[in-house]
Amino acid sequence: RWTLVPVPDDALYLFSAREHRVVAQRRARLFVECWQKLETGDLDAVVSRLTERGLSAAEGYFTFEELRRKGYVVAGGDPPSPAELFLAALAPVAERPVIPQPAARPPDGAACELLLVGDIDADAIAAAAGSQSLRIRFIANTRAVEAADAPLVVLTDDYLRPALGAIDRRMRSLGRPWLLAQPVGGIAWFGPVFGSARDKPGGCWHCLAQRLVRNREVEWHVARSLGCEMPLVPARGWTPESLAFCLAEIAGMLAALRGSRKDGRDDLAHVTTIDFADGSRQHHHLVRRPQCPACGDGGRRSLAPRPIRLHPTSKRFTADGGHRIHDPEETWRRWRHHVSPVTGAVSFLQRIDDAHGGPGRATGAAFAPDANGTGCDDVMPGPAADAGPVPVHNYVAGENFAVHRPGLAGLKAGLRSKSAGKGM
Ligand SMILES: [Zn+2]
């Protein structure tokens, strides 16, 4: 269940599908460093190495026992199977997976080209596609991709695989749309379809990656500490049933894309995440970044901010004690596509409900595309229905990514720095 990453002179970081933990003790970090270097799983040999690094044998055995009791390490045994990894990813919240119905019914006999990136089992994908009557053709590598009207489907075990950057460049040079999906792990990811809109340029993979990295702050911190350009990828599992669902979902998306392109709409410019713990779906808008070095004007990044010019204007909303030129709901609708734990500049908005004792009653919000894909059909997270009049509107809004300091202490300081504000 856990991926253990010791960072020299810092701490031991533990990653799972749903949470991250840190063990700050030096002996725990040294134990895992030695354990991973030896690769034999021989406890006595690990303890012997630890004594060379200043720990006593008793400390070595005690540290192993501590880590084992918490489920962070196991002695011996075979590597976990994909199904065991899949169930382990659900284990904190669900005993068995909930496989939902695909959003759109996949057409019989649909066909597509597939490119695999990362640790994806081609035989298992072929079997899953066969079970859904989806005809597939594997493309060997990025250079072998040819120009075509039909989207290329790229399956990966992590949306931040650096190889996806090269695929993005290749696909934009060919002018061919491509659908990215992660069919493995306890939470599957689908979309967006890059390059699907003919009349207006959408965001590219680099636009998406910039937001994803910022929302994987702990993994990014560890990657930077180890000199890696992207977060580490933990092993992700699957079952034949979960893969069959993912292939059916992809076939349905391709059919929906054909329909939306006929209408001239671009309603697949978002990432859909499906959590197999409860079968729930969430949509996360992809924002095109004008300053993106790949698809936008990279020179914009070095431009100085334009000065703010104040000018008189009439107030249109004064009902809550503040004076605004826009209704709060209008401001929310205008910017809410930037709120997402996956693709948002703001990872979440939570209301601190004073009347009911703090953030326990907070209301989150997720992007939900409407029929036009604009996502403006939701409402601002407001007070609980039974809260009565609330004198002060308090919100917290995710981590403050402006704060970056090295080391575990710096990471903790950054995580504490949440953005917050109030309206009277
Ligand atoms: Zn871009």
For 341-410, the DSSP string reads TTT-SB---EEEBGGGTBGGG-----B---TTS----S------TT----SSEEEEEEE-TT---SHHHH
Residue 27, pLDDT > 50, answer: yes
In a domain, 72, yes or no: yes
- Helix (H) or strand (E) holding 413, with range, is helix 407-416
- CATH number for the domain spanning 190: value is 3.40.50.720
**Are 115 and 213 found together in one domain?**
yes
Last residue of a domain, one of 77, 95, 119: 77
Nearest to 195 by CA among 103, 286, 282, 284: 286
CA of 193 to the centre of ligand 1 (A): 13
**Are 253 and 333 found together in one domain?**
no
Mean pLDDT across the chain: 82
In a domain, 87, yes or no: no
HSE, CB side, 13 Å, CA atoms: give it for residue 350. 17
Residue in this structure with the two tokens 């992590």, named with its chain if needed:
158
**Are 35 and 180 found together in one domain?**
no
CA of 156 to the centre of ligand 1 (A): 19
* 198: Cα separation from own chain's centroid: 27
**Are 127 and 273 found together in one domain?**
yes
- Helix (H) or strand (E) holding 32, with range, is helix 26-38
**Are 72 and 20 found together in one domain?**
yes
CA of 351 to the centre of ligand 1 (A): 32
Structural domain for 24, as ranges: 3-77
Q: Determine contact, residues 390/354, Cβ cutoff 8 Å.
A: yes
State phi, psi for 303 to the nearest 5 degrees. -70, 140
**Are 207 and 115 found together in one domain?**
yes
Residue 280, pLDDT > 80, answer: yes
Q: Determine contact, residues 380/328, Cβ cutoff 8 Å.
A: yes
CA of 120 to the centre of ligand 1 (A): 26
**Are 66 and 211 found together in one domain?**
no
**Are 182 and 279 found together in one domain?**
yes
- Rounded CA gap, 325 and 335, in Å? 15
- Rounded CA gap, 256 and 264, in Å? 12
Averaged pLDDT for residues 207-213? 92
Averaged pLDDT for residues 328-357? 79
In the prediction, which pLDDT does 105 show?
76
CA of 343 to the centre of ligand 1 (A): 13
CA of 168 to the centre of ligand 1 (A): 9
Model ipTM value? 1.00
- Rounded CA gap, 301 and 327, in Å? 31
**Are 141 and 228 found together in one domain?**
yes
Nearest to 150 by CA among 257, 231, 75: 257
The model's confidence at residue 136, banded by pLDDT at 50, 70 and 90, is: very high
Averaged pLDDT for residues 240-256? 93
Give strand pairing partners of 420. 396
Highest mean pLDDT among 139-148, 215-224, 229-238, 377-386: 139-148
Residue 29, pLDDT > 90, answer: yes
**Are 53 and 120 found together in one domain?**
no
CA of 291 to the centre of ligand 1 (A): 8
Higher confidence at residue 353 or residue 330? Answer: 330
State phi, psi for 197 to the nearest 5 degrees. -90, 125
In a domain, 116, yes or no: yes
In a domain, 89, yes or no: no
Averaged pLDDT for residues 97-101? 93
CA of 133 to the centre of ligand 1 (A): 34
CA of 204 to the centre of ligand 1 (A): 4
Last residue of a domain, one of 77, 94, 125: 77
- Helix (H) or strand (E) holding 173, with range, is helix 163-174
In a domain, 310, yes or no: no
In a domain, 387, yes or no: yes
**Are 168 and 236 found together in one domain?**
yes
CA of 226 to the centre of ligand 1 (A): 26
CA of 131 to the centre of ligand 1 (A): 36
DSSP-assigned states of every residue in 192-259:
EEET--SSS----HHHHHHHHHHT-HHHHHHHHHTT-SS---------HHHHHHHHHHHHHHHHHHHH
Structural domain count of the chain: 3
In a domain, 296, yes or no: no
In a domain, 36, yes or no: yes
Does 192 sit behind a cis peptide bond, omega within 30 degrees of 0 on the bond before it? yes
Helix, strand, coil share (%) of the chain residues, nearest 5 = 35, 20, 50
Cα angle, residue 382 at apex, residues 379 and 388 outer, rounded to 5°:
140
In the prediction, which pLDDT does 422 show?
60
**Pair type for strands 418-423 and 350-352:** unpaired
Residue 420, SS3 per DSSP: strand
